[in-house]
Structure 1
Amino acid sequence: MIIRPRVQRLILNRIIKSSLVLFVLWTTLEVLSIRRALTFEASKPPPPFGNQKIFIASLHWTDERVLREYWVPAVRQLAQDIGRGNVFVSVLESGSLDDTKGALRDLDDQLTELGIDHRVVLDETTHLDEVTQARDANNKGWVQMPATKSYRQNWTDWFELQKDSWVPRRIPYLARLRNQVMEPLHQQQTKGITYDKILWLNDVVFTTADVQTLLATREGDYAAACALDFKQAPHFYDSFATRDAQGHAPLTDTWPFFRSARSRNALLRGQPIPVASCWNGMVVFDAQPFYHTRSSSSGLAFRGIPDTLARKHVEASECCLVHADNPLSAAKGVWVNPNVRVGYNGTAYEAVHHAGTWPSAYAIATGVWRNRLVRWLRLAGARVDRVVGEKLREWERGGPADAEPGAFCLIDEMQVLLWNGWGHA
């Protein structure tokens, strides 16, 4: 039987129209279902702090504006809301290029006036001091430049780092500073004072309600729980430290972010998202692993990957590795609470807290289909995973001592400290 061209066109048009109708209907029902779930979860009021003892930790460099406008008032209010006897605030600043020290002196004075236990350290050591110090053979956290490269000196000028010159790595430097921030936790322990949770805060815009909601993630049953963070909303910021339930970096920087079905499905329901690691501007840890015990003189601490692995042009965030090292991660899990969203400026914070359910119906529809297409077409992650995996296996062949428990944290980068910040090498 021969079908005429005109009939063929009619059949094809009907198939196309029917497919479009089904596509629109499917997408509409999916969006309605997702928005219903998100609205229900977002409507839950944040619970009170109760009698939890919370250690607040924070590290700062050249972020005066957000500190003065948002962060210092928010931390002061947060400490008051937690309660004077249940909170300690530990802050470290080092070598800022603006008046970050002045903003933190204000916080120091305010916490003193309120009678809140705290330590604010304003370190005069600059990045220039770090990069120009003499390096000896035992000085860990340094690598040789793989090639000559130019970096921005200021708005108009550039400077060069020559191939094979020794430079400090950014991540071991940050890990060392984070461990300094944690020192009062151990000092308090010697006085018989311990804390239930450790709350790390980046220089983000947040409220006390955000912290209450984060602390209550899974009714407090977690190794760690993180917010979502945004610098230019709706684009998710911290892809360096975030890994989904399968150890993959975020698939896209817009909602629903994740490659893993387990992580993505939890997000679609507005529920705590299982992940391998996260930081995202605000993270709370169960404090127990960080404490020194009779069986262990050193608790959980921040670190970088070994220099020998970093020399292969591989890096990992200290904020990811801490989850890989945390013995509670496997038992209690690491989670992202999608109902806690912070911003690195007021505009970003407002964009993810506008009236109505976040994200919008349009963002849900486009985000779900964008995520599907990227997964189906395998447009993200495969090449990087392959390159990093080859470098890791090559390094592991160096000897039985060469092993990296945070392999899922690795990326194909080398990050070095510069006098005015940091850069890729």
Structure 2
Amino acid sequence: MSVRLLHPDEYELGTRSSLDSQGTFDLDEADFESQTLPKSRLLSLSHRWPLLSRLLSSTYSGYRRLRPSRPLLSASKRPVGCCRRLLFRRSCFYLHVVAGIIFALVVLTSIFQPSYTRPLSHYKSLRNAVQQSTAPGRGNPHNEKVFIAASLYDPNGELARGQWGAEVLQLVDLLGPENVFLSVYENDSGAEGERALREWEAQIPCDKSIVFEEHMDLQSLPTVTVPGGSHRVKRIEYLAEVRNRALRPLDDNPEKRYNKLLYVNDVLFNPVDALQLLFSTNAGEDGVAHYRAACSVDFINPFKFYDTYATRDLHGYSMGLPFFPWFSTAGNGDSRNDVLAGRDAVRVRSCWGGMVAFDARFFQYGAKESTGDHDWEKRNSTQELQSREESGISPVRFRASRDVFWEASECCLIHADLQDPPSNVDDLTDTGIYMNPYVRVAYDSRTLSWLGTTRRFEKLYAFIHNIGNHLVGLPWFNPRRAEIFGQAAEETVWVPDPVGNGEGTFQTVERIAGNDGFCGRRGLQVIVEHREEGQKGWENIPVPP
């Protein structure tokens, strides 16, 4: 596939094209933690590390500093050409030495200490079962019922007709068509996108709901009033609605029961890896996977982790620099330590990574039937889930934050809603939500083909990653990270003027804390409803001072 596929949060209105990130969705612009450091932070760094300041300064000259104050030869007698040749030869020698050391480390690490290349025995057993048979359902050892959901934007039909469509069909075969319900929602993709979707629909052997909507009506979505008085739809509100429309068959057929729910974005993946995510993540002695949610790890190139916007470590801290081991040492650094230890179930508070497996109970009405996960039920029973089952309260769905100038990914908020609110965030030891680095997906076929190689020596990045995090100050401060659900908390929020013109002020107010403070950050992104050619489908509204 020649195009780069979309980030999990990157749905746009008119041209959600995967062809060019600058033309659709720039992660560095949408993810505030990936932006270039502001001048104030650079000034701060210069005070903390004067050497770094001198290195970055255009007036600093290492040569002048190293030059002796009293030269041994006058300028007219100094053999300039000879010195230059000697300096060049020495530089080449040292460069070759450094390159040799790096090469040796890469080779030795790849052979003796590779990262996430030697899976646990139950991973091998599942893979062998797939390879030794051609029968449908060979990758579903316990015949679990799986609801697969996807929301697409595919104007050229390259997803449905290409590698993504073929991988989903293969996954259905491995799970067994009788065990799968496939729900796909696509909108605003044009005539060619619809033709491709209908062609693909004819090949699907399982129960399905394939919905194509020519244009989503935004009038039904909640709006916020922005400075100037206009009413706008939050970008996250739109994304949540798109995702929820792929889950509508759960509401339409509440009598049907599923063990797992797999949400697949328009990423490229190995279908066997999807099986491992579903059935191998955090498996116990009984061979059954135990989790509330399990995420893959997505890459925009062979080295760069992509989904920083939705991922939070075990104690709610945002990500470090977006390469291995991804998490910072903030707090106890438990998520980072899990990665470095090679665990298949890295403990986090939220994640996405292009493909997520959920315990389907959280998404169904009155899901009292057994999921086969008895031990997990006993150890991690949720009062909220139990009351939902007894009273028929709506199950979890994607949503947006209600505050005006506070943004949080719908892919993080969904995890906040399906975990037990902690009594002390910093004492958390497990949430039932895991990231599985054995399962990796990508946004283009070339990147996917490299992931098996680059993971072998990625342990070498850990030291540089830690230094880099400290230099740029990651993770950045979130005043709501440690809030306790249901307790009084002081928060700085945008308070609109009573006249309703969109103007207002930031005020510190006391209110009851929600369960999702760790997901958010200051900002506001809204949908552009009437786009011009070449314009993005969303825009940032500047945060008032």
TM-score category, normalised to shorter length: 0.7 to 0.9
* Match for residue 274 of structure 1 among 347, 350, 355: 347
Provide the secondary structure at the position in 2 that maps to 1:99.
helix
1:376–1:168 Cα change, 3 Å:
closer
Is the 8 Å Cα contact of residues 279 and 319 (structure 1) preserved in structure 2? Answer: yes
Which whole-Å CA distance do the structure 1 matches of 2:291 and 2:232 have between them? 38
Work out which of the residue numbers 140, 144, 160 in structure 2 matches 1:49.
Answer: 140
Q: Does 1:230 align with 2:299?
A: yes
Q: State the partner residue of 1:108.
A: 201
Give 1:35 deviation, angstroms.
2.2
Report the counterpart of residue 393 of structure 1 in structure 2: 491
The whole-number CA distance in structure 1 between the counterparts of 2:475 and 2:112 is 26
1:45-67 per-position Cα deviation (integer Å, ceiling 9, x unaligned): 26231211100001112463244
Indicate the residue corresponding to 2:418 in structure 1: 326
Quote the Cα distance in structure 2 between the aligned partners of 1:99 and 1:46: 42
2:459 paired with 1:364 = yes
The Cα offsets for residues 265-296 of structure 1, whole Å up to 9 and x where unpaired, read as 21122212111101110000001111212423
Q: Compare CA radii of gyration and give the structure with the larger one.
A: 2
Q: 1:125 aligns with which of 194, 215, 219?
A: 215
Q: Is the 8 A contact 2:294 2:358 kept in 1?
A: yes
Deviation per residue, 1:364-400 (Å, 9 max, x gap)? 32x2122221344462233x52599999712395564
Instruction: Describe the shift of the 1:397–1:290 C-alpha distance in structure 2 as closer, same or farther (beyond 3 A).
Output: farther
Label 1:91 to 1:268 Cα distance change in 2 as closer, same or farther (>3 A).
same
Q: Are 1:304 and 2:397 matched, yes or no?
A: no
CA distance in 1, matches of 2:451, 2:325: 14
Question: What is the identity, as a one-letter code, of the residue corresponding to 2:169?
Answer: R
Query: What secondary structure does 1:284 align onto?
Result: strand
Q: Separation in 2 of the partners of 1:268 and 1:34?
A: 15
Distance 1:408 1:77, change over 3 A: same
Tell me, yes or no, if the aligned pair for 2:295 and 2:357 is still in contact at 8 Å. yes
Distance 1:203 1:392 in 2: 40
TM-score using structure 1 length: 0.76
Instruction: Summarize the Cα distance change of 1:329–1:207 in structure 2 as closer, same or farther, 3 Å threshold.
Output: farther
What amino acid does structure 2 have at the position aligned with 1:424?
N
Picking from 405, 412, 422, the partner of 2:538 is 422
- C-alpha contact 2:149 2:263 (8 A) present in aligned 1: yes
Return the match for 1:257 from 318, 322, 326. 326
Matches within 5 A, 1:234-245: 234-245=303-314
> Which residue does 1:81 correspond to in 2?
174
CA contact (8 A) 2:163 2:268 kept: yes
CA contact (8 A) 2:310 2:412 kept: yes
**Cα 1:223–1:88 shift into 2, 3 Å:** same
Distance 1:259 1:245 in 2: 11
Equivalent AA in structure 2 for residue 78 of structure 1: L
Distance in structure 2 (CA, Å) of the matches to 1:418 and 1:58: 23
Q: Deviations over 1:224-278 (max 9, x none)?
A: 0000001233111111111111211210111111014211121122212111101
Tell whether 2:117 aligns with 1:39. Answer: yes
Larger deviation, residues 203-212 vs 35-44: 35-44
* Aligned partner letter, 2:311: T
CA distance in 2, matches of 1:372, 1:316: 26
Shift of 1:89: 0.2
2:442 aligns to what? 343
Q: Name the CA shift for 1:280/1:207 in 2 (closer, same or farther; >3 Å).
A: same
* Deviation at residue 68 of structure 1 after TM alignment: 2.5
Is the CA contact 2:296–2:435 (under 8 Å) kept in the aligned structure 1? Answer: yes
Give the match's secondary structure for 1:297: coil
More helix per residue: 1
How do residues 129-278 of structure 1 correspond to structure 2 at under 5 angstroms? 129-130=217-218, 133=219, 141-146=222-227, 163-190=228-255, 193-215=256-278, 216-219=280-283, 220-260=289-329, 261-271=333-343, 272-278=345-351
Structure 1 Cα separation of the partners of residues 354 and 276 of structure 2: 15
Measured in 2, the distance between the counterparts of 1:100 and 1:404 equals 40
The amino acid of 1:56's aligned partner reads I
Query: What amino acid maps onto 2:324 in structure 1?
Result: W
Task: Quote the Cα distance in structure 2 between the aligned partners of 1:345 and 1:66.
Answer: 11
Instruction: Name the residue aligned to 1:5.
Output: none
Superposed CA deviations along residues 81-140 of structure 1, whole A, max 9, x for unmatched, are 2112110001101112673323321221111xx2x10001101124xx53xx4xxxxx76
Q: Partners of 1:42 and 1:339 in 2: how far apart?
A: 10
SS in 2 for 1:41: coil
Contact 2:315 2:348 (C-alpha < 8 Å) held by counterparts = yes
Letter in 2 for 1:295: S
Say whether residues 1:407 and 2:480 are aligned partners: no
For 2:523, give the aligned amino acid: E
Q: Give yes or no for contact 2:109–2:456 (8 Å, CA) kept in 1.
A: no
Give the unaligned 5+ runs of structure 1.
Answer: 1-20, 134-138, 147-162
Deviation at 1:77?
Answer: 1.2
Change beyond 3 A, Cα 1:328–1:221 = farther
Count of residue pairs brought into register by the alignment = 362
For 1:178, the aligned partner's letter is R
Alpha-carbon separation, structure 1, partners of 2:125 and 2:521:
36
Q: Which residue of 1 aligns with 2:407?
A: 315
Shift in CA distance, 98/374, structure 1 to aligned 2, threshold 3 Å:
farther
**Partner Cα distance (1:380, 1:203) in 2:** 29
Equivalent-residue separation in structure 2 for 1:407 and 1:34 (angstroms):
42
- Residue type of the alignment partner of 1:125: H
Residue 176 of structure 1: how far off its partner (Å): 2.1
Q: 1:28 to 1:207 in 2, by over 3 A?
A: closer
How many angstroms does 1:351 deviate by? 2.1
**Deviation at 1:298?**
0.9
